Each structure stands twice: as C-alpha cells, then as structure tokens.
Amino acid sequence: MRDAYIVTSIRTPGCKRGKGAFKDTLPEDLLAFILDAAVRQTPGLEKKDVEDIMIGCAFPEAEQGLNIGRICAQIAGFPDSTSGATVNRFCSSGLEAIALSALRIMAGWSDVVIGGGVESMTFVPMGGNMPRPHPVYTREHADLYASMGITAENVARRYDISRQAQDEFACHSQMKAAGAREKGRFTEIVPTPATSYVIQPDGTMKRETFVQDFDDGIRPETTIEALSKLRPVFAANGSVTAGNSSQTTDGAAATVLMSKDKVEELGLEPVARLRLYTTVGVKADEMGVGPRYAIPRLLDMAGLTIDDIGLWEINEAFASQALYCIRELGLEKYMDRINVNGGAIALGHPLGCTGAKLCATLLANMRAKGVKYGVESMCIGGGMGAAALFELCE
C-alpha cells in the first residue's frame, strides 16, 4: 500500500458563533476560500490536478447542505472534473475526511486529494434546524440523543473530575492560547475574508468585507476565580459551565494529500505522512471518554507507546472529559506536550471542521518543534472516539 503525504495543511481563524468575526460570513465562502488557499500555498499544484475533495461537516443542512464539498469546489474555481463529497462523523468529521482522502491515495485510486472540514454554528445551530429523534427508539435509548453537556456531567460525576480541576484546566487552555497568539505561533492560520453588514445613516444595510487573521474566542483575562463563579449550564448541581466547555465556533480547514509520485513530480517537500487512523464506540451517555479508548488502539496498531509521541492534540470538548482521558491514559506526566497552543475551550470547536483544524495545528507545531510523531484525538457525539497518528517527514 502506498504512503499518503501531506504537503499543505491550513485553516481559517476560529470565530465565535453569533458574535464573532464570521457571524455574517456564509460557510460556503469560508470553505471555498480555504480550498483555494490550499492550492495556492502548494507550489506547482493546479486545481485541475485535484481529483477529489472530501469535506467534513457535522450538520450538513441549510447553508451547509446539498453536498457542500462539491458545491464549494465549484465556487472555489475547481474544474468540473474535480469531484467532491461531504463526510459526517460529528466531531471527527474533518479528520474522517482527511483519513478517507489518505485512503484513496494509499489504495492507488487517486494521486491528489484534499480533505477538510467546515462548520458555521452561527448559520446551522448545534443539533441542526429540525432535529427529529426516533419516536419509539428514544423511549429505550434516550441517551443516544442526550445533550453533549449532560454527557460531560456524567463523565465528571462518574469518574470524580472536580469542578476545581475543570476550571484550572480551562484557565490553562486560555493562557496557552493567549500566549501563542501573542507570539505568532498559529502559523497554520490563513488571513480570511469576512463579511459584515453595517447599518447606514438612511437605515439601509451595506455589505462590507474585512480580513480576519486571529481566533477571536481567546480570553486572556480569564482567571480561575472568575471561572469558579460561573453557574453550571447543564445540571442544577453540576460542574460543567460555559467557561470549562468548548466554544461554539465558525471556521474551515483544508489539507492537501498526495502520492509519492505526485510529490516527486512537483518537486515538493512533504510535511508529514498520515500513518494510521482509528475509531471506537463507547457509551453514548459518556461519549467524552472516547479518546481514552481510541488512543490505545491507535498506539497498538502502530507498535508505539505514549512515550514515543512528541505532541498531542486532544480536543477539549469539555474539561471534564479531557481531564479524564489524560488521567486514564497516563498522560499527566506529558502535559507540556498536550494542546501546546491551547485547545477548544479557548480556540473553539467548530464541530465538523475541528478534525481538520487540529490536523493543521498539530502539523504546524510538529514542524516548529521537530517532533517525529504526533497524535490527534477527539470524542464524538453519539458515543465514539477517534485518533490519528502523523509522522513528520525528514
């Protein structure tokens, strides 16, 4: 089986749902822009060379519907010959899209594929516009449709993750992200056009465009004391708050993958190889434990241990589940390798985009630090976990 090489991996900023810089920017525009940028940042690559585009989206409806993977390829100026698909594995959709893209190359079906993700939680809310749980099945398995916040409360309660530990973890995430932004470490971000509608003196609205070049959900003023005063949002006597949960966010990301033959033809220096990807199922009502089971399976497949991994991106859907997974995996001794630029609590979790977003972040940090192996992992709504192993090219 052939290797799948990553030559470019980039993202837009992540911006707050409903209040951030992308609140008036259509998801199609975010995705079309980052797809175009991915080609522009890959020397010698032309859009006609891209055979397929796989795009993760957790709620592919409304503005994100009608196969946004294909539609945005057309908006971005790819030729009719470039096909496109939309992939949904909820929180791992973007990573799933990259993995499927890699598989096409590894199987010899394609030589150039783009995998990515998009989510506008402003335009399409969590749960979608018209959720319709099965009327009979929900009587026996309501947990499958449970709020993600309730599953986070379940993890905190069942596995003894204290409110104080969650708030401390959340504050640390904010501080790491604030420091990384100040020091210009988010090198994977591409400044992105954003739309704004501005009311005019005569009462009409004018469409304006500006460029957004930073994640706007970071709160450098965060303190543990302030977090401790926030009320629980999912259970009256709970410990999960808005401050120790991931932010709902808008964003897009794209990764260009190639076969070795194509890399050599274009004279490129690849960034990394996607070595392995795996998923596991867990109980739906504690879906946050997913990485605790996906990561060991991944490492067993690779013949590696946690000591071999130089950097980790473990999605911070909630502080409670991230802390549980870190503790159970024995990763507490490697906290300086985990989410080194902050995680979703500070940077946001744009659902279907997150897997692709974290890929871009992980690879940028692996290059900066010269780390051979990096792992990306996340929990997934409905009761799953996913993990991928990347190897830096020398």
Q: What is the pLDDT of residues 279-292, one digit of tens each?
A: 999 999 999 999 99
pLDDT given at position 177: 98
Determine, yes or no, domain membership for 146. no
Determine, yes or no, domain membership for 90. yes
pLDDT given at position 144: 86
Cα of first residue to Cα of last residue in the chain, in angstroms, is 20
Determine, yes or no, domain membership for 135. no
Query: Average pLDDT for residues 297-320, to the nearest whole number?
Result: 98
pLDDT, tens only, 133-189: 998 988 888 888 889 999 999 999 999 999 999 999 999 999 999 999 999 999 999
- β-strand 272-281 against 15-16: which pairing, if any? unpaired
Identify whether 349 is a catalytic site residue. yes
User: Which residues make Cβ contacts (< 8 Å) with residue 203, sequence separation at least 6?
Assistant: none
pLDDT given at position 394: 81
Q: In the beta sheet, which residues pair with residue 374?
A: 311, 390
Determine, yes or no, domain membership for 335. yes
Range of the domain at 115: 5-126+246-389
Say which amino acid occupies 386: A
Query: Average pLDDT for residues 209-233, to the nearest whole number?
Result: 98
Q: How many CB atoms lie within 10 A of CB 199?
A: 9
Catalytic residue among 57, 72, 171, 349: 349
Q: How many domains does the chain have?
A: 1
Determine, yes or no, domain membership for 299. yes
Identify whether 91 is a catalytic site residue. yes
d(CA 107, CA 111): 10
Helix/strand/coil for 78: coil
For the entire predicted model, the pTM comes to 0.97
d(CA 366, CA 348): 21
Determine, yes or no, domain membership for 210. no
Determine, yes or no, domain membership for 171. no
Angstrom CA distances, 115 to 164, 335, 387, stand at 38, 29, 16
Catalytic residue among 15, 57, 72, 91: 91
Say if residue 281 is exposed, middle or buried (CB neighbours under 10 Å; 0-12, 13-18, 19+): middle
Query: Average pLDDT for residues 313-329, to the nearest whole number?
Result: 98
d(CA 305, CA 315): 20
Nearest to 270 by CA among 155, 105, 128, 158: 105
d(CA 176, CA 363): 18
Angle 100-104-105 (CA atoms, 0-180°, nearest 5)? 120
d(CA 47, CA 277): 27
Higher-confidence residue: 1 or 114?
114
Identify whether 172 is a catalytic site residue. no
Query: Average pLDDT for residues 38-54, to the nearest whole number?
Result: 98
Q: In the beta sheet, which residues pair with residue 115?
A: 54, 255
Q: In the beta sheet, which residues pair with residue 257?
A: 6, 113
d(CA 317, CA 296): 19
DSSP annotation of 303 reads T
Nearest to 169 by CA among 374, 385, 6, 324: 324
Determine, yes or no, domain membership for 302. yes
d(CA 223, CA 226): 5
Q: In the beta sheet, which residues pair with residue 52?
A: 83, 113
d(CA 111, CA 157): 48
127: phi > 0 → left, psi -120 to 50 → alpha, else beta; which?
A: left
pLDDT given at position 183: 98
High-pLDDT (> 90) share of the chain, %: 96
CATH of the domain at 64: 3.40.47.10
Q: Tokens for 253?
A: 């990301």
